[in-house]
Amino acid sequence: IGGEGFSLSKDKTNTKEYELLNTEMKLRDQLKQLEEKKIEEDVFFDVISSFQEVGNKTSEWYQKYTLIFPAIAFVLLCVVYLSRKTITYVKNYEA
Protein backbone atom coordinates (compact mmCIF):
# COMPACT_ATOMS: atom_id res chain seq x y z
CA ILE A 1 0.00 0.00 0.00
CA GLY A 2 2.57 2.48 -1.09
CA GLY A 3 0.37 5.20 -2.52
CA GLU A 4 1.11 6.80 -5.77
CA GLY A 5 3.54 9.72 -5.91
CA PHE A 6 4.86 9.16 -2.40
CA SER A 7 8.00 7.20 -1.84
CA LEU A 8 8.71 5.53 1.45
CA SER A 9 12.47 5.71 1.08
CA LYS A 10 14.52 8.78 1.97
CA ASP A 11 15.38 11.03 -0.89
CA LYS A 12 18.97 12.17 -0.69
CA THR A 13 19.05 14.08 -3.89
CA ASN A 14 20.37 17.60 -3.62
CA THR A 15 18.24 20.23 -5.21
CA LYS A 16 19.30 23.67 -6.30
CA GLU A 17 17.29 25.21 -3.48
CA TYR A 18 19.10 23.05 -0.93
CA GLU A 19 22.48 24.05 -2.35
CA LEU A 20 21.43 27.70 -2.28
CA LEU A 21 20.33 27.33 1.33
CA ASN A 22 23.69 25.81 2.31
CA THR A 23 25.55 28.54 0.43
CA GLU A 24 23.44 31.21 2.12
CA MET A 25 24.13 29.73 5.55
CA LYS A 26 27.88 29.68 4.87
CA LEU A 27 27.80 33.28 3.65
CA ARG A 28 25.83 34.37 6.71
CA ASP A 29 28.38 32.71 8.98
CA GLN A 30 31.21 34.49 7.17
CA LEU A 31 29.33 37.79 7.39
CA LYS A 32 28.77 37.24 11.11
CA GLN A 33 32.50 36.63 11.63
CA LEU A 34 33.37 39.76 9.65
CA GLU A 35 30.89 41.83 11.69
CA GLU A 36 32.42 40.55 14.94
CA LYS A 37 35.89 41.42 13.68
CA LYS A 38 34.69 44.87 12.63
CA ILE A 39 33.17 45.50 16.06
CA GLU A 40 36.40 44.52 17.80
CA GLU A 41 38.41 46.89 15.57
CA ASP A 42 35.90 49.71 16.08
CA VAL A 43 36.22 49.36 19.85
CA PHE A 44 40.00 49.56 19.46
CA PHE A 45 39.80 52.73 17.37
CA ASP A 46 37.21 54.28 19.71
CA VAL A 47 39.58 53.81 22.63
CA ILE A 48 42.44 55.44 20.75
CA SER A 49 40.46 58.33 19.27
CA SER A 50 38.44 59.19 22.38
CA PHE A 51 41.24 61.23 23.94
CA GLN A 52 40.37 64.90 24.02
CA GLU A 53 42.71 67.81 23.98
CA VAL A 54 43.96 68.66 27.42
CA GLY A 55 44.05 72.25 28.61
CA ASN A 56 42.18 75.46 28.01
CA LYS A 57 41.70 77.26 24.75
CA THR A 58 43.43 80.59 24.84
CA SER A 59 42.84 83.55 22.61
CA GLU A 60 44.04 87.12 22.72
CA TRP A 61 41.71 90.03 23.35
CA TYR A 62 41.89 91.11 19.71
CA GLN A 63 40.56 87.72 18.60
CA LYS A 64 37.35 87.99 20.64
CA TYR A 65 35.08 89.70 18.14
CA THR A 66 32.03 89.36 20.39
CA LEU A 67 33.70 91.90 22.67
CA ILE A 68 35.42 94.07 20.06
CA PHE A 69 32.43 94.95 17.86
CA PRO A 70 30.12 96.09 20.69
CA ALA A 71 32.96 98.11 22.22
CA ILE A 72 33.68 99.84 18.90
CA ALA A 73 29.97 100.55 18.41
CA PHE A 74 29.73 102.01 21.92
CA VAL A 75 32.76 104.24 21.36
CA LEU A 76 31.36 105.48 18.04
CA LEU A 77 28.00 106.26 19.66
CA CYS A 78 29.77 108.17 22.43
CA VAL A 79 31.82 110.16 19.89
CA VAL A 80 28.71 111.04 17.88
CA TYR A 81 26.81 112.04 21.02
CA LEU A 82 29.65 114.16 22.39
CA SER A 83 30.27 115.85 19.05
CA ARG A 84 26.59 116.80 18.72
CA LYS A 85 26.52 118.14 22.27
CA THR A 86 29.72 120.09 21.63
CA ILE A 87 28.38 121.59 18.39
CA THR A 88 25.10 122.67 20.05
CA TYR A 89 27.03 124.15 22.98
CA VAL A 90 29.30 126.13 20.66
CA LYS A 91 26.32 127.42 18.64
CA ASN A 92 24.50 128.49 21.82
CA TYR A 93 27.67 130.11 23.23
CA GLU A 94 28.16 132.28 20.14
CA ALA A 95 24.57 133.43 20.07
Instruction: Give, for 69, the enclosing helix (H) or strand (E).
Output: helix 65-94
Q: Is residue 20 part of a domain?
A: yes
**Structure confidence by residue, pLDDT tens digits, 76-89:** 999 999 999 999 99
Q: Is residue 6 part of a domain?
A: no
Asked if 67 contacts 61 with a C-beta cutoff of 8 angstroms, the reply is: yes
Q: Is residue 54 part of a domain?
A: yes
**Structure confidence by residue, pLDDT tens digits, 40-69:** 777 666 555 556 666 677 778 778 888 899
Q: Is residue 76 part of a domain?
A: yes
Q: Is residue 83 part of a domain?
A: yes
Q: Is residue 34 part of a domain?
A: yes
Q: Is residue 5 part of a domain?
A: no
Q: How far out from the chain centre does Cα 53 lie?
A: 18
In the chain, the number of structural domains is 1
